[in-house]
Homo-oligomer: A and B are copies of this chain.
Amino acid sequence: MSRWLWVSVPASTAALLWAYYLYRWIRAQPGGNARMEEVAGAIREGTSAFIRREYTALAQFVAVISVLIALLLPQPIWATSTPFRNLEMVIAYVLGSAFSALAGYVGIRVATQANVKAAAASTHGIERAFPVGFRGGAVMGLAVVGTSLLGISLVFWATGDPEVLLGFSFGASSLALFAKAGGGIFTKTADIGADLVGKVELGIPEDDPRNPAVIADNVGDNVGDVAGMGADLFDSNVASIVAVLLLGSTLGQVEVPLIFAGLGTVASILGTALVRVRKGDPGQALNSGTYITCVLFGVATLGASYYLGFDLRIWWAAMVGLIAGVIIGLTSEYFTSDVKPPVRMVAGVSQSGPALNIITGFSYGLMSVLPPLTGIGIASAAAYTICNSIGPGYGLFGIGMAAVGMLSIVGMVISNDAYGPIVDNARGIVEQAGLGETALAVTDDLDSAGNTAKAITKGFAIAAAGLTVIALLAAYQDIVKRVSGKAIVFDLMDPLVFLGAMVGLAVPAVFSAMLMLGVGRNANRMIAEIRRQFREIPGLREGLPGVKPDYASCVDIATKGALQELLPATVVAIAITLLIGFIGGVRCLGGYLAGNIFSGLLLALLMANAGGLWDNAKKLVEAGEFGGKGSDAHKAAVVGDTVGDPFKDTAGPSLNTLITVTSLISSLTATLMVMYSVFK
């Protein structure tokens, strides 16, 4: 039995046990009054309805793909001597989506229980409410790292074949695409619909129980931010480990990444256990948890490297990735924090109307891409250079290890991120149940720390995806070389590579456009339904006692629309990838993947940061600056926030997943393309 199993299996099991303990702890917390439980019940029900429908659609998708894999991958059954590998691939694929689905299900179940408990605790002050919110998020974080590492360990232990792991990773990506893009369309449909009719047309406050879309809006936070972000980071985490196992298997270096990932899981467990809120500052608590996890990971892996005799240069590569991830997260914060110049500037120009708000916010979004792109570039060049001196092939392996290092703290990162929607929901429940000003102030404080954590997490997730896809591109090159027996070079002056890059540049743009247009269409349906309810339900607008809107129909519209709008974008992206590969051949596809990475990262960073910036600029105005609520500046800032919604919560974060999916598909179908492409 391999040494790595002694680390990765116990570590992942411990993560799952710790998650279970936290779950029990949350259940044991005091619940809310009847009105709170009613609201929370509606949110829970809506969330379950969405998850059920999403997983049903996903199951159909997985079934179709499974058949295709059985027939075609890694090699077509009519042209392989090892048809059993196709079956292994199918099982790995199904497991990948099932494990990720399970983690998402657990996370969202806990989140929709923790919200009402956090709301109840908020009446007793921030020291009582914060741990409920944070531990609720930590269940998701630990479930994700536990299931992902356990899944990889089992599949790799059973098959010993890193290429079969590609199937597992592809399964995780399929789920992430549904969870991220579908959840992203759902949440913004509900948010925009609720705001445009509620806040703008009728002038009723956020989270007002009269608004028929208010429950859908709260559901959206859970399905978009908890389940979506969890699936995204599950996906990146798996992909980075798989890529580095592929690159490492030819070098005899499969132990290091698995042991490092196991130690990262342990560091995350300790990190989540040590988070404490001090002096009522929840933001500081979240950040210090992250730093503690980083330090623990660094020390543990250094010790393990000495003890197990790993080359220290590999450890350095992982550290480079980890440090780069933290720095990139912090630069995202600069562009989206309300105490820094960009947000203040955008809030200020809102006084001259929505156009200048948009132009200025978009401009800062454009500027915000420079630090993270430079960071990704420097991190990969440094990791490559450090490891390249070990021997041939180690340079690219080093880039993969940087990705693994960056993602080592993913358990902690997801915990921080899932905390956000839980306390956001708690705020909604406090408002709808009328728990009073003190509880509202506490949940406001918790919520604002969640927003900052979210901005950092997004920068981190995009950077991690960036390093991961470079490693995947290297893995793709490796596979092509193994299959075709010829080394290929992605030379930009090769016209096929260049053609691929040009098309590859355009695809993330088209994909995000399709998602955003989907949000627009779906929001229009939602707006029509909200207006209908206010028109047709007597007494609703006036808020007569006992009159309630039909929350479920809004949840239903958001759900159906999300799945319906998600599919064309996914099909177009996959179809273009296959077309490029089967017409232009493997070099053209290499250029295409590079183009995808380039514009995917650029647009994802732009959209995530501009969206976060507009959101916080609006909050700054609402806090009373530049005219405050109800002023012209506020109206302009609301326009910016609404534009930013699909940027930051639908299109931007789906791009990570898109570039991972296209990279995995390319690696999986490399053999077919070598055999059948039109150009070679």
Contacts and interface: CB of A to CB of B under 8 A. Distances in A.
Nearest to A517: B363
A380 B498 contact: yes
Interface in A83-102: none
A378 interface: yes
Contacts of A470: 498
Contacts of A273: none
Which interface residue of A395, A506, A595 has the most chain B CB atoms within 10 A? A506
A381 B646 contact: no
Contacts of A500: 377
Contact of A493 (B474, B493, B505, B524): B474
B499 A378 contact: yes
Contacts of A353: 196, 200, 639, 642
Given A363-B517, A519-B359, A598-B598, A524 B352 contact: yes
Nearest to A638: B355
Interface residues of A, number: 80
Given A196-B353, A493-B490, A506-B369, A377 B516 contact: no
B499 A369 contact: no
Contact of A360 (B355, B477, B495, B520): B520
Contact of A196 (B352, B374, B399, B638): B352
Nearest to A474: B493
A352 B527 contact: yes
Interface string A507-519: 1011011101101
Given A360-B517, A377-B502, A602 B509 contact: yes
Contacts of A603: 366
Interface in A339-392: 349, 352-356, 358-360, 362-367, 369-370, 373-374, 376-378, 380-381, 384-385
Given A356-B523, A491-B491, A509 B639 contact: no
A606 interface: yes
A190 to B, nearest CB: 15
Given A355-B643, A363-B517, A516-B363, A505 B602 contact: yes
A489 interface: yes
A492 interface: yes
Contact of A370 (B359, B367, B506): B506
Contact of A505 (B354, B364, B490, B601): B601
Contacts of A516: 359-360, 362-363, 366
Nearest to A371: B506
Interface string A468-511: 00100110010000000000011111011111111101110110
Contact of A366 (B356, B493, B509, B638): B509
A599 interface: yes
A359 B601 contact: no
A192 interface: yes
A509 B590 CA distance: 24
Complex A-B, nearest 5 residue pairs according to Cβ-Cβ distance, in ascending order: A377-B502, A355-B642, A377-B499, A366-B513, A384-B495
Given A367-B514, A473-B492, A489-B491, 15 more contacts: A192-B355, A353-B642, A359-B643, A366-B510, A366-B512, A370-B503, A370-B509, A373-B506, A376-B502, A377-B501, A377-B503, A380-B495, A380-B498, A490-B491, A598-B599
